[in-house]
Structure 1
């Protein structure tokens, strides 16, 4: 079965089917300084077969690892793979060690570039060999303008990631992708991207770990899930970050996760197969039915894995058949 088309299933707890769990960070493991509820316990239950993939290039990998250790998690710095590290490697391969690189980004991106031997500059007059965007903290208009001048002059352009937003304790804030789009509007071109949904960050995680059968867990279908599908990696979407259940139910064929759960506890649950026929989906004890354009779920707790799977599978089937679906919300049948 082609990835991205329909839900997969597991006969035992999901994590047991994979030799590595790849975790997105913002919205999955933490939001700002705080751990997502149940995340730490679920990760500890997985053990050592965990790597952390983040598109956020604002902080160096070592700082991210220390943040995770502050929650009581055990990991090495190498377990954190940032889009900043990966884009630095791409730039190094393009221009060579010691080359000047114009950065419009955060200190974490600067650290990654300097770590691989590149020289960070701030102006087109410094004759940069590449332009890099990564991280959004304290990025100034003047940096975006200088990057635009260099790109318009033909300097190769790289970006850590395309995320338009990232979650903070106060809500969604503009992400690196928003800054990239501003420069794209000024230059009429697009950068080479290292982070999700592009393959390089997944390939780096596999290189570091030697994993043969990983699963990617994320909260953003457009980066985490699309990237996993493109890298032929199984995927689980959780509802603790950017995406809501209605967002997942509305995903088109080709962009759908293999699994869905409320939070990381879903890694330790069985995900029963779903049977869909005649406007009805059954998953374990959960039954989802289409009534007057609405999906009604009964027989299971509202946010249980079977209830989510039944609702999502029925929504996808209904949309694929072109049948009437008045809302992507789910109602529980008392």
Structure 2
């Protein structure tokens, strides 16, 4: 695998940008530094915001983005709650009652698809269990979900992100809660969020892009999901996955492009030349010795990052080693 390249700004090659939210556009309530400026500078491409966080309805997400200074509509927001509600509406009878563990966003999405969410697993004619993220969920909620699933009901989950980036740090995500229930019941749910197909399918059906680009901070969800959907991807270093993670990523989690942050949308991504233990990209270069990867010559953040990542990938392909990264980009 090698990084894709473009001599013109990356955004010029795409008519739509599919953006993860947590860790890409914002962390908690605050915008990622530079994100608003980068996105408001986009011209000629549709912006769609894909979130695995099923807690908030699209209207609340849109309000949040507008508060940060972005121009968005509700139709620009696609949530894993909407995606799983679509899957369930396809699988279940119209008007089916479902036991819903999660926040307002999940319940709103279910209602929009004609399903009836309830908080009591003993409600009449419950047809399925669905699990989504909400910060107030506790042990009792997970236990109730497990009890219902153990009766044989179909089990659905909005997403399985093990962690979620917040303003205070990395916290347990919905996947950690789903995993806890799975350990109790010995089953796996049907999942809609990244890296699974339904969230991408929901987005593509809505905006019909010709040349989309996925931007994400998580290799295991955003980037892996984009590869599964055959959508080129830009990985940014503003969220969960680190520089060492992307250098040592599994093949099915390798991005097409890498950037420090969303400003990389407006950068050219020059070819990287790898020669032995050295890689050059534009004015930047990186070197590797004894499995340790370092910046030799700093250039622009995108050039420097590309040199480091490409050299790390080449070293791994040649020797199969795990590469240690001793480099800070853009400091």
TM-score normalised by the shorter chain: which range applies? over 0.9
Partner residue, 2:56: 59
Which of 282, 301, 304 does residue 304 from structure 1 map onto? 301
* Residues 1:167 and 2:165 aligned together: yes
Task: Decide whether the 8 Å contact of 1:295 with 1:331 is kept in 2.
Answer: no
Structure 1 residues 170 and 282, CA, compared in 2 at 3 Å: closer, same or farther?
Answer: same
* Residues 1:68 and 2:65 aligned together: yes
1:274 CA displacement: 1.0
1:132 CA displacement: 0.5
Unaligned stretches of 5+ in structure 2? none
Distance 1:190 1:124 in 2: 19
Distance 2:277 2:166 in 1: 39
Task: Decide whether the 8 Å contact of 1:6 with 1:257 is kept in 2.
Answer: no
* Residues 1:49 and 2:49 aligned together: no
1:296 CA displacement: 2.6
Task: Decide whether the 8 Å contact of 2:287 with 2:294 is kept in 1.
Answer: yes
Question: Counterpart of 1:272 in 2: which secondary structure?
Answer: coil
Distance 1:255 1:212 in 2: 23
Structure 1 residues 65 and 283, CA, compared in 2 at 3 Å: closer, same or farther?
Answer: same
Question: Counterpart of 1:109 in 2: which secondary structure?
Answer: helix
1:32 CA displacement: 1.0
Deviations for 1:34-70, whole angstroms, at most 9, x for unmatched residues?
1111100111111451000000001000100011011
Structure 1 residues 234 and 259, CA, compared in 2 at 3 Å: closer, same or farther?
Answer: same
Unaligned stretches of 5+ in structure 1? none
TM-score normalised per structure 1: 0.94
1:175 CA displacement: 0.6
TM-score normalised per structure 2: 0.95
- 1:1-334 equivalences under 5 Å are 5-47=1-43, 49-126=46-123, 127-301=125-299, 304-322=301-319, 327-330=324-327
Task: Decide whether the 8 Å contact of 1:275 with 1:281 is kept in 2.
Answer: yes
1:300 CA displacement: 2.3
Task: Decide whether the 8 Å contact of 2:21 with 2:50 is kept in 1.
Answer: yes
Structure 1 residues 37 and 89, CA, compared in 2 at 3 Å: closer, same or farther?
Answer: same
Structure 1 residues 325 and 224, CA, compared in 2 at 3 Å: closer, same or farther?
Answer: closer
How many residues end up aligned between the 2 structures?
A: 327
Deviations for 1:128-153, whole angstroms, at most 9, x for unmatched residues?
11110111321132221121122121
